[in-house]
Amino acid sequence: MTSALLEQDVEATDADRDVRGGTSFWRYAGRKAGGAAFSLVMVVVLGFFAFRILPGDPTRSMTRGRIMSPEQLETLKRQFGLDEPLHTQFWIYLKNLPRLDFGESYVYRRPVSDLIAEHLGATLLLTGVSAAIAIALGLWIGQRAAWRRGSWFDRLNTGSALVLWSVPTFWLGLILLLVFGGMLHWLPTGGLKTAGTTATGIPLVWDVIRHMIMPVVTLVAVTYAQYLLVMRASLLEEMHADYLTTARAKGLREDLVRRRHAVPNALLPTVTLVFLHLGGLIAGAVTVEAIFSWPGLGYLTYAALSGPDLPLLQGTFVVFSSIVILMNLAADLLYRFLDPRVRAA
Amino acid sequence: MRAIRNLVATLSVGALAGALAVAAPATSADAAKSPTIFKVAASSTIDTFNPFISIYLLPTGLNRLVYENLVQYSVKDGSPTEGLATKWETSADAKTWTFTIREGMKWSDGQPITSADPQWTYQQMMTDSDMGTANGSLVSNFAKVEAPDPQTLVITMKEPQASNPGLEIPVVPKHVWEKIGDKVKYANDTNVVGSGPFVLEKFTPSQSVVLKANPNFWQGKPKLDGVTYVIYKNTDASVQALKAGEVDMVGQPTLTVPQFDSLKNADGITTNAGKGRRFVGLSLNPGAKTRDGKKVGDGNPVLQDKAVRQAIRQAINIPELLDKTFQGHGTLATSFIPSVYPQWQWKDESKLAKYDPAAANAKLDAAGYKKGPDGVRLDKSGKPINLRLFVDNSDSVDQSRADFIVPWLKAVGIGVTVKPTDGDTISADTTAGKYDMYFTAWSLGADPDYQLGINTCNALPTKTNGEGSTSMDYWCDPEFDKLYAQQHAELDPAKRQEIVKQMQAIHYDAAPSIDFWYPENLEAYRSDKFKDLTKMPEDGGVLNGQSGYYALLKAQPVGADSKNASDSSGGGMGAGGWVAIAVALLAALGGGAWLARRRGSTADDRE
């Protein structure tokens, strides 16, 4: 997937070059933003219909095994707006969307936007910290591994990163939970903070940090390989460039040649990929949040599936997709901005 | 560069200091105040705590702790017992129920509890269908509710009703609720005023529910200071939390057999395989039709023959199925009313069919289903019999049950095609009558009226797409319906129980569903920390998901001495402290090394 995205990017930039041998940044940005906007519209439409074709009647699924009269089921249908024809439901959905109003959750009986706002923070905290660590770790190991290609450091690190990357997230999370939670009692087994805690200030921060360790370690473990490999590959491409010979000829230490000359150039393709992966990371948090009962968006989506809570599913779908689209747009723009060759071409 | 260096230095020193500052006093502070809080792990959905709206199991159960009903289920067998009302009388025609409310009771905010509270509560549900979202069907037979004086409540029924109308419905404080503007949208999740043993203090969505003891509860303040429900998204995590002592009870929903077994020999933990109020079975499509006899769906016509349905029951080795797929954690079923309600359960050993493939074969031979060349029987039109069996592919127990049943039915010449799909599809297709067989399960309340009602012809749909159906198995029988009406108005409990048993006998003979067993709820709690938990029913029942509030009513910490002993097992500072220091040290070391490298390299650079 990584290479496919890279190619796509290169093609796009090629196509953008006009006959005069250069395009304005704004025209390029406008085109990219237009594409993103179109994707967003598709997501909004798809978000409505994709979940409507799910089998079953939410009112029945939600009330399975409960004493319910047909009148009560009718009441529920009316409350959910399911008694309206589909096109009317769609129209209501579209009408409210510009105000970020995704309707009211069937299950929680509260506005979907409130629920998303309530859970977004936890997801951003988890994915933000994990992404920062995974990127730092991946890039650092990646460039060292490339520089000493074939060494034990390279083989050990690349190997273990790949193993962790292939490990199922659920399995790794449960193993950590079993060992550090259930057996050693070192770390809490779930949640964002101790349930019912009245702590504030530093004790609360510390409590949250303790709860974050396992989910963050899991998420970092299964994702840092992609940064490592991209960094390693990009740096390998730069390794035999002439300018490095020049740098060495100047008498610079090997370390400085790598850090000052090779790495900045190798970072260019890496940075865009980092952004592309960020969007995916947030979506990937779904599993981790479910294992560690982390009260974030992933957890909310997981819960919404069992309704099925259509408005909530639509809301989280649109939010997740928008994040991915925006990150892709950011990657496109950033690439253009960072690489003087593309800008001047 | 200097700025970054300073930042790293500050951060690492700060992390170390912070960790040390926090790690040390944390445990001493815990020991000092120590209110006794019982923590329950729960992995089910919480929709809302608005008792008029909430339809999910967990919040419904929590509201049982917060709101005392007019009439409560007894801990012994679920029969009606004192709640807000101390006694009740029924008119001879079973149309007027008069309740006497206990004097001197108070809500948790100190306001008196009077008959005006249930009167107002029921009235809301009767006049506003939105307020009846959760429990509207329970007041649908109410003509009017009056409160002639603070201690008396009179409910007048439209039709005679023998089941106690004061059960199940949470009674809310009128003085609080009548001031609320949009009652349907009211979340009711902070500082709730209640009448039960515990009241809801704070709800943090997707994280926890904090309840505190109600000093005004009519049976006296519970010994626990509070109960906290900790939300776990998967039961594996909650089992680890119990082992680590982070929670005190698990089993909501039931643990899996491997999880349960892993806790059996754990120190300080007591497991409980509690008799539940659920039954599981196999539903057969007896020829789904509408109330006026029009065909619904596409069920295989051979199942309309009672002999085929009975033969299927005889061909399935239910005890072995229970043993192999659920490690024997259940009581063999005799009817759709579970054994926790012995007063209602029909159990006529002489009429119960045993596993007997020879008899099943003989029955099918006698009914005229000849075996084809490949051993599969032919239906009346000469086609080989092939029944579809829906299997919920998210449920591993469902799948393993199918693995046993297919060869058993094959042995009597009935072909089966397993159709694995998701629960929502099963729910949709079975409502529409598009099925032959599927695994069914129901939880029953202490009064069987509802479960009997969904087996009457009135529960059948009016439309041919199955819409509006509440029928349990699309089966109905006029004889059964006649008895249903009789028991519905029979005030003498003994006589009513007798009729209800007769109805189950009819259902058993007709075999629209094959009742397998009443599964146990697999649960566990920290017996090194807490004692005197009450099961429901008292004899062999469950702690989680009770239809009453008994589990924690009398629970209390195990003596203070042993509590300290178990607390100190972490070794003075507690594991958290050690981890804190380790992390901080790593941060400091890492930061230091980085600084050193930086400094060295800049020196190189300057040359």
Residue A137's domain is classified under what CATH number? 1.10.3720.10
User: Rounded CA gap, B121 and B124, in Å?
Assistant: 5
On whether the CB atoms of residues B152 and B159 are closer than 8 A, the answer is: no
- A residues 254-273 lying closer than 8 A (beta carbon) to B: 255-256
Q: Minimal Cα–Cα distance from A94 to chain B, Å?
A: 23
Provide the percentage of residues in chain A whose pLDDT is more than 90: 24
Burial of residue B338 (CB within 10 Å: 0-12, 13-18, 19+) is buried
Which residues from B are below 8 Å from A54, CB to CB? 424
Q: What is the band of B437 on the pLDDT scale with cuts at 50, 70, 90? A: very high
Write out the residue range of the structural domain in which residue B61 sits.
13-67+185-274+526-586
Residues of A in Cβ contact (< 8 Å) with B423: 61, 64
Contact between B441 and A65 using a beta-carbon 8 Å cutoff: yes
Alpha carbons A187 and A166: distance in angstroms, whole number: 25
Question: CB neighbours (10 Å) of residue B372?
Answer: 15
Residue B199 lies in a domain: yes
For B69, B119, B156, B291, the CA distances from B140, given in Å and listed in that order, are 18, 15, 12, 21
**DSSP H helical segments within B327-458, as ranges?**
357-366, 396-411, 423-431, 449-453
pLDDT on residue A83: 86
Which of A301, A292, A341, A303 has the alpha carbon at shortest distance from A320?
A: A301
Q: What is the DSSP string of A71-116?
A: HHHHHHHHHHTTTS-HHHHHHHHHHHGGGT---B-TTT-SBHHHHH
Number of domains in chain B: 1
* A107 touching chain B per CB within 8 A: yes
Rounded Cα gap, residues B369 and B361, in angstroms: 10
- Sort residue A56 into left (φ over 0), alpha (ψ -120 to 50) or beta: left
What is the 8-class DSSP label of residue B114?
-
Residue B394 domain-assigned (yes or no) = no
Q: Please tell me which of the candidates B207, B236, B427 has its beta carbon nearest to residue A60.
A: B427
Q: Does A63 touch chain B (CB under 8 A)?
A: yes
Q: Tokens at residue B86, please?
A: 């101390």
Q: State whether A54 and B424 contact (CB < 8 Å).
A: yes
CB contact (8 A) between residue B468 and residue A195: no
For a pLDDT cut of 70, what percent of chain A falls above it?
A: 91
State the pLDDT at residue B183: 93
Domain count, chain A: 1
> What pLDDT does residue B564 have?
43
Closest CB to B234 among A110, A185, A290 = A290
CA A327 – CA A127 distance, rounded (Å)? 14
CA gap B50, A109 in Å, rounded: 10
Residue length of chain B = 607
**Residue showing tokens 């029942």:** B541
What pLDDT sits at residue A281? 78
Query: A258 — phi, psi (to 5°)?
Result: -65, -50
Q: Which residues neighbour A99 within 8 Å (Cβ) at sequence distance 6 or greater? A: none
Cross-chain Cβ contact A61/B427 below 8 Å: yes
Query: What is B304-344 written as a DSSP string?
Result: GSHHHHHHHHHHS-HHHHHHHHHTT-EEE-SSSS-TT-TTT
Cβ contacts (< 8 Å) between B580 and chain A: which residues? 206, 210
Residue in chain B closest to A64 (alpha carbons) equals B427
Judging contacts by C-beta atoms under 8 Å, the chain A residues touching residue B185 are 109
Tens digit of each residue's pLDDT (9 = 90 or more) over B224-233: 999 999 999 8
The CATH number of the domain where B41 resides is what?
Answer: 3.40.190.10
Residue B92: exposure state from Cβ atoms within 10 A (0-12, 13-18, ≥19): exposed
Q: State how far the Cα of B577 lies from the Cα of B20, in Å rounded to an integer.
A: 8
| A306 token code pair | 């069992």
The pLDDT-based confidence of B590 (bands split at 50, 70, 90) is low
Is A48 a domain residue? Answer: no
Tell me which residue of B75, B115, B177 sits closest to B64, measured CA to CA.
B75
Report pLDDT for B7. 46
Determine the Cα–Cα distance for residues B60 and B570; give it in Å rounded to an integer. 37
E strand or H helix that includes residue B588: helix B575-606
What is the average pLDDT value for chain A, to the nearest integer?
A: 83
Q: What's the pLDDT band for B304 if we cut at 50, 70, 90?
A: very high
Interface test with B, best of A57, A112, A116, A189 (most B CBs within 10 A): A189
CA distances from B365 to B360, B361, B380, B413, B512 (A): 9, 6, 12, 10, 20
Taking the Cβ of residue A182 and every Cβ of chain B, the question of whether any pair is shorter than 8 Å is answered with yes
Nearest to B129 among A71, A192, A209 (CB): A71
Cβ within 8 Å of residue A98, ≥6 positions away = none
Q: Cβ of A186 under 8 Å from any chain B Cβ?
A: yes
Angle of helix A201-238 relative to helix A152-166, nearest 10 degrees?
120
CA A36 to CA A39: how far, in whole Å? 5
Q: Is the pLDDT of residue B503 over 90?
A: yes
Q: Name the strand (E) or helix (H) holding B522.
A: strand B513-526
Q: Residue B264: which residues within 8 A CB-CB, separation 6 or more? A: B271
Per DSSP, the three-state class of B459 is helix
Interchain CB distance below 8 Å, A109 and B50? yes
| A173 at interface of B, judged by CB pairs closer than 8 A | no
- Note if the bond before B342 is cis, omega within 30 degrees: no
Q: What is the pLDDT of residues A132-186, one digit of tens each?
A: 999 999 999 998 898 888 889 999 999 999 999 888 888 999 999 999 988 888 9
CA angle B184, B47, B128 (to 5 degrees): 25
Chain B CB contacts of A298 under 8 Å are none
Asked if the structure places residue A261 within a domain, the reply is: yes
What's the Rg (C-alpha) of chain A? Answer: 24
Q: Which carries the bigger pLDDT value, residue A65 or residue B222?
A: B222
pLDDT computed for residue A113 by the predictor: 92
Question: What range does the domain containing A269 cover?
Answer: 115-344
Considering only CA atoms, which of B387, B461, B377, B374 is closest in space to residue B419? B387
**Whether A174 and B207 lie within 8 Å, measured CB to CB:** no
Enumerate residues 6+ apart whose C-beta is below 8 A from B596: none
Residue B320 counted as domain residue: no
**Would you report the helix, strand and coil content of chain A in percent, each value rounded to 5?**
75, 0, 20
**Window 38-57 of A, Cβ < 8 Å to B:** 54-57
Give the minimum alpha-carbon distance from B168 to chain A in angstroms, rounded to a whole number.
11
B37 and A196: CB-CB below 8 Å? Answer: yes
Assess if residue B257 is contained within a domain.
Answer: yes
Burial A153-173 (b: 16+ CB within 10 A, else e): ebeebbeebeebeeeebeebb
d(CA B115, CA B513): 43
Please answer yes or no on whether A56 and B132 come within 8 Å at the CB atom.
no
Residue B375 lies in a domain: no
Say yes or no for a CB contact (<8 Å) between A306 and B45: yes
What is the rounded (10 degree) CA torsion for B408, B410, B415, B417? 50
Question: Does some domain include residue A15?
Answer: no
Q: Which residues of A touch B226 (CB under 8 A)?
A: 196
Residue length of chain A: 345
Dihedral sign computed on CA atoms, order B154, B158, B161, B163: negative
Instruction: Provide the mean pLDDT of chain B.
Output: 87
* Helix pair angle (A201-238, A169-176), 10° resolution: 140
Q: Is the ipTM of this complex over 0.95?
A: no
Q: Is the CB of A253 less than 8 angstroms away from the CB of B604?
A: yes
In a domain, B234, yes or no: yes
Question: Is a pLDDT exceeding 70 seen at residue B129?
Answer: yes
CB pairs under 8 A between A and B: 192
Candidates B36, B48, B206, B290: best to mutate against A (most CBs of A within 10 A) is: B206
Report how far residue A228's alpha carbon sits from residue A138's, in angstroms, rounded to the nearest whole number: 4
Beta carbons within 10 angstroms of residue B171's beta carbon: 25
Chain B: closest CA distance from residue A213 (Å) = 10
Phi, psi for residue B380 in degrees, rounded to 5: -65, -25
**pLDDT-derived band of residue B33, with 50, 70 and 90 as boundaries?**
low
* Closest CA of chain B from A162, distance in Å: 25
Q: Is the peptide bond before B215 cis (omega within 30 degrees of 0)?
A: no
Burial B55-91 (b: 16+ CB within 10 A, else e): bbbbbbbbbbbbbbbbbbbbbebbbbbbbbbeebebe
pLDDT tens sequence across B456-480: 999 999 889 888 788 999 999 999 9
